[in-house]
Amino acid sequence: MADTELPQIYLITPPEIELSRFPDALARVLDSTEIACVRLALATRDEDRLSRAADALREVTHARDVAIVISEHVLLSERLGLDGVHLTDGSRSVRKTRKDLGDDAIVGAFCGASRHDGMTAGELGCDYISFGPVGATPLWDGTRAEHELFEWWSQMIEVPVVAEGALDGDIIARLSPVTDFFGIGEEIWRHDDPVAALGALRAAF
């Protein structure tokens, strides 16, 4: 990635959303700045809830020409007219997913901090690789995706890379030259004003 190009924002939904409110909040964020893609990343496995959320958010994103992918649920992605899927098991199901969804779908893979897994997923046809967490968080096992991983990736690998997980202004400033996207989610949704919170993070790009 050229130094002159700023990373893009890859927006991640909270694990739980209120359908009466969240689509409006999402719309405000999408209208406030350029967003490359939205990931529907709900914790629920309930197909009905996932489907209702996907329908509501797809209306918001597609009205603004923003792609929307769903975490893990390959079959739902196709059935609900979403743009693709975000896999969370590294490179393991990339080949089958690409075959199932075809060449036009977005297929991304979260590969933790594993360079090898990322390279394998890229070779199998992923559109992007996501590494993280890049910051300290109790939600993970303590492994972090370090600056060196992104630096090496940006020099050696063509596949776009996403930095995500416990981002803050300092981490964003450090990683900006070596990542293509920042996966931003809870960092803004836990604030009363997500637009302002995103603006503050964006200032560190």
CA distances (Å), origin 11, targets 14, 70, 167: 10, 12, 13
Domain limits, the chain: 8-202
The model's pTM: 0.96
Lowest pLDDT segment from 59-68, 71-80, 136-145, 181-190: 136-145
4 pLDDT above the threshold of 80? no
Of 199 and 141, more confident: 199
pLDDT for residue 84: 98
pLDDT for residue 137: 87
| Residue 133 preceded by cis peptide, ω within 30 | yes
Distance CA 56, CA 22 (A): 9
Distance CA 33, CA 52 (A): 26
Give the chain's mean pLDDT.
Answer: 96
Residue 157: Cβ-neighbour burial (10 angstroms; 0-12, 13-18, 19+): middle
39 pLDDT above the threshold of 70? yes
The structure tokens listed for 84 are 């693709």
Band (pLDDT 50/70/90 cuts) for residue 1 is very low
The mean pLDDT value for 87-95 works out to 97
The mean pLDDT value for 172-191 works out to 98
The mean pLDDT value for 151-165 works out to 98
Does 1.20.1250.20 match the CATH number of domain 8-202? no
Residue 170 phi/psi, 5-degree rounding, is -65, -45
Asked if 38 and 68 touch (Cβ cutoff 8 Å), the reply is: yes
- Closest alpha carbon to 52 in 25, 74, 23: 23
Q: What is the pLDDT of residues 13-38, one digit of tens each?
A: 999 999 999 999 999 999 999 999 99
Q: For the chain, where are the alpha helices, taking DSSP H only?
A: 22-32, 47-62, 74-79, 94-101, 115-123, 147-156, 169-175, 186-189, 194-202
pLDDT for residue 142: 81
DSSP 43: S
Of all residues in the chain, what percent carry a pLDDT higher than 70?
A: 98
Band (pLDDT 50/70/90 cuts) for residue 140 is confident
Q: What is the pLDDT of residues 111-137, one digit of tens each?
A: 999 999 999 999 999 999 999 999 998
- Closest alpha carbon to 197 in 205, 8, 189: 189
Positive or negative torsion for Cα 95, 74, 103, 183 = negative
